[in-house]
Structure 1
Amino acid sequence: MNRRGKVRIGFTTGSAAVAAAKAGLLFLAAGKRNHRIGIPCPDGHVRLIIPVEHLEPEPDGSAGPAVRVTVRKRAGDDPDATHNAAIVVRVRMEAAAYPEVVIQGGKGVGTVTRPGLPVPVGEAAINPGPRRQMQRALLETLERLDLTARVHVLVEVPEGLVLAEKTLNPRLGILGGISILGTRGTVKAFSHAAWKDTIRQCLDVALAEQLDAVALSTGGRGQRFLEAVLPELPGAAFIQVGDHPGFALRQASQRGMSRLVWGGFWGKLVKMAQGRPQTHARLFPVDLNALAELALRVGVERDLAASIAEANTARHALDLLRASSCCEQAVRRVLEAACRHCRCWARGTMDLELILLDYDGCVIQRVQCPKGIGNSRKP
């Protein structure tokens, strides 16, 4: 915290790369050396101002002029493995028939080698959020400068190989460096206690507005998807609960809510089905063996169930499961098991619904949880 006790918000590796790329483009296109760069967040609603550490033009080569720009990733009061890492971006511009941004990963940026991640196997581990953010920032810069060009962006992290050993990347099959991440563009410092305080406050606001229904989700993307599914609910009814579904359900029940909706993605729902009221990835990985056993019980082929047990991620397991005619039944069994645990955590008789969303925001299944159920068995 700073001396006034306020929590400092940082920015993601994705935002660092985008700021470096934009600084490089402004130098190549207009000769400007900017010490601070304004960029949009991935969804475009918020803009960040990020300092530039270093800018170095490269000697002209056969492909034209290029520049290397360095930005330090800052995590605010929530320092992680990549806090203070140098994000270096090489930018090159060439004539083109229409504006275009080509993004590649270089030294210290991992390569995806296993399925189940938002980036295809074989590509640099630069997630969709930062890619959208990069496209938006550079294309709007070209438009403002009235230029039509193709911008080549190579993202590097000199210490990426060492830093990756402190992350989940090796276990997920991301080899050779770190991932360039950032769904939101910023990094908020949220301890477990801070998350719980936030959940209480949001529920109290909903109660003060005389709402008797709330819709819970893990984070910003899940909330946006859930808002589209439940347009009848007011904004104050949508609450982000992080990795604390059990705590949030109990707090909502204690405040007398008559209807609870939990909407989210497969991995979190599988953990909830396996009795995890706290779903943090490092603390509580998905039990894929238990998921494979469930698949067998509903008729999934034995070879396919074995592949599910060895899946890279829960998302990968779902992709595998979709190859079976028993997929819908298996998914329903997971949701029904999650319902039982949610009833235990909520300890109430309110209407309770679980909505499983895919990663594009479409509803896969939604289940009304019967009243009077609740046990601690795994699915």
Structure 2
Amino acid sequence: MREETAEQPAPLRSGLTTGSCATATSLAAARLLLGGQACDAVEITLPKGKQVQLRLEFCRLLEDGAQAGTIKDAGDDPDVTHGALLFAHVKLLSEPGVRFIAGPGVGTVTRPGLVLAVGEPAINPVPRRMMTEHLQRLADEQGYNGGFEVTIAVQGGEQLALKTMNPRLGILGGLSILGTSGIVRPFSCAAYIASIQQGIDVATTNGYQHIAACTGNASEDTMRRVYGIPDIALIEMGDFVGAVLKHLRKVPVDKLSLCGGFGKISKLAAGHMDLHSRHSSIDLPQLARWAADVGADTDLQQRIIAANTSQQALAMCSAAAVPLGDTVCRHALTFARSVVPASVEVEVFAIDRQGGIAGHAQ
């Protein structure tokens, strides 16, 4: 029999954002144009001053400029862009400044409510600033007084973007070039939380004052069925209910409908803001106490405590005509109301495995 060891897990490896990749490739291409020097790696400075080096897949002259590419390395983060080829095509302009263009695989903003204007390439402000600063520094070194046209592209980006929130946010045609620090922290989920906040911003800017925040596809289908809510007002929050509730302090709406699986709603009822199993667990004894409040006898309470899953506990209560789903939703509602402004009307739906409504409170 193999002996178990208390082996320390290796630390997770950080990666670099698409914004860092865009900065490195645009700098390498511009350096080739101005200095005639191709390179196989390039060093950039991140917003907080750290210097990092990125390896290039190619750096070459073209008839109308220069092009450089790198493979996006997200470290140990499960990033949809990990392993994608990102490249920059740079042309020289007679006027100073930097003009950004969305190449193949990079999206374009089509709805108001984001930090970028409608019609702009989906290259976020910090990556734009990083590229501009590096290119201006290079221009100063080379004594160049003109400007740059920078086209950023991601191979296969249009298909990869379908796995992100971009289509719902109105960013069409590809991915966004992102990053605030230049570094991807493993499992920080910063990009996902940012997309939740952007989703709320886009919905409210476009006049939607009733939004539905859902944990997954089944709960979204429930909100479509109950209210006919359009996709623009459906916020795919996943496990990050806290991101929704906290953002509504800054951008309040008239009405918030929260909808999720019974297990996740029971975590919200217990006061958890992150519903992932890594950060919160289902408290079966608490479910038993809540069931007791609405009529569960001692035998049913013990069976709830011994249940394998929250869904099993829910099924046992349903068979005994004990409205566990509704009471869990009421506790979730109380907690959610404690976080959002009093002006926001909140309701909570819990659904079962078949997508049926297992509980509701408002």
> What code does the residue aligned with 2:186 have?
A
Instruction: Give the Å deviation of 1:95.
Output: 3.5
| 2:252 partner SS | helix
**Contact persistence 2:106–2:152 (CA under 8 A):** yes
Instruction: Give the Å deviation of 1:70.
Output: 0.8
The answer to whether structure 1 residue 8 and structure 2 residue 13 are counterparts is yes
Q: 1:284 to 1:118 in 2, by over 3 A?
A: farther
Q: 1:158 to 1:331 in 2, by over 3 A?
A: closer
Structure-1 separation of matches of 2:156 and 2:143: 37
| 2:232 partner SS | coil
> What code does the residue aligned with 2:148 have?
V
**Contact persistence 2:199–2:232 (CA under 8 A):** no
Q: 1:87 to 1:265 in 2, by over 3 A?
A: closer
Q: 1:75 to 1:148 in 2, by over 3 A?
A: same
Structure-1 separation of matches of 2:11 and 2:127: 27
Task: Map 1:151-162 onto structure 2 (within 5 A).
Answer: 151-162=148-159
| CA offsets 1:25-83 (integer angstroms, 9 cap, x no match) | 11111122222222233x34333321111012113x5xxxx111111111111132211
Residue in structure 2 matching 1:135, options 129, 132, 135: 132
Query: Counterpart in 1 of 2:146?
Result: 149
Structure-2 separation of matches of 1:91 and 1:126: 15
Instruction: Give the Å deviation of 1:23.
Output: 0.4
Query: Counterpart in 2 of 1:57?
Result: 61
The answer to whether structure 1 residue 312 and structure 2 residue 238 are counterparts is no
Structure 1 ranges of 4+ moved more than 3 A? 43-47, 264-268, 279-285, 330-335, 341-344, 375-379
| Structure 1 residues without counterparts, runs of 5 or longer | 196-217, 221-241, 244-263, 294-305, 316-326, 348-352, 356-365, 368-374
Task: Map 1:80-159 onto structure 2 (within 5 A).
Answer: 80-96=79-95, 99-159=96-156
The answer to whether structure 1 residue 331 and structure 2 residue 252 are counterparts is yes
Q: 1:173 to 1:52 in 2, by over 3 A?
A: same
Instruction: Give the Å deviation of 1:344.
Output: 6.5
Q: 1:280 to 1:103 in 2, by over 3 A?
A: farther
Query: Counterpart in 2 of 1:68?
Result: 67
Residue in structure 2 matching 1:182, options 179, 182, 195: 179
**Contact persistence 1:116–1:312 (CA under 8 A):** no
Structure-2 separation of matches of 1:183 and 1:314: 26
> What code does the residue aligned with 1:158 have?
Q
Query: Counterpart in 1 of 2:271?
Result: 345
Instruction: Give the Å deviation of 1:280.
Output: 7.8
| 1:27 partner SS | helix
Residue in structure 1 matching 2:39, options 17, 34, 43: 34
> What code does the residue aligned with 2:88 have?
V
| 1:345 partner SS | coil
Instruction: Give the Å deviation of 1:87.
Output: 0.8
Structure-2 separation of matches of 1:20 and 1:332: 41
Structure-1 separation of matches of 2:145 and 2:217: 45
Instruction: Give the Å deviation of 1:166.
Output: 2.2
Task: Map 1:162-181 onto structure 2 (within 5 A).
Answer: 162-181=159-178
What is the percent sequence identity of the aligned residues?
31
Q: 1:275 to 1:171 in 2, by over 3 A?
A: closer
Residue in structure 1 matching 2:52, options 35, 43, 48: 48
Relative to the length of structure 1, the TM-score reads 0.52
| 1:331 partner SS | coil
> What code does the residue aligned with 2:92 have?
M
| 1:21 partner SS | helix
**Contact persistence 2:108–2:119 (CA under 8 A):** yes
Structure-2 separation of matches of 1:265 and 1:288: 20
Task: Map 1:279-294 onto structure 2 (within 5 A).
Answer: none
**Contact persistence 1:14–1:181 (CA under 8 A):** yes
Q: 1:94 to 1:266 in 2, by over 3 A?
A: closer
> What code does the residue aligned with 1:105 have?
A
Structure-1 separation of matches of 2:89 and 2:61: 9
> What code does the residue aligned with 1:49 have?
Q
Give the aligned length: 252
Instruction: Give the Å deviation of 1:14.
Output: 1.6
> What code does the residue aligned with 2:98 have?
V
Q: 1:219 to 1:88 in 2, by over 3 A?
A: closer
**Contact persistence 1:114–1:312 (CA under 8 A):** no
Structure-2 separation of matches of 1:275 and 1:344: 21
Q: 1:283 to 1:87 in 2, by over 3 A?
A: farther
| Structure 2 residues without counterparts, runs of 5 or longer | 1-7, 205-210, 236-247, 259-266, 273-330, 332-337, 343-347, 350-359
Relative to the length of structure 2, the TM-score reads 0.54
**Contact persistence 2:212–2:223 (CA under 8 A):** no
Q: 1:147 to 1:314 in 2, by over 3 A?
A: farther
Task: Map 1:223-234 onto structure 2 (within 5 A).
Answer: none
Task: Map 1:199-214 onto structure 2 (within 5 A).
Answer: none
| 1:6 partner SS | coil
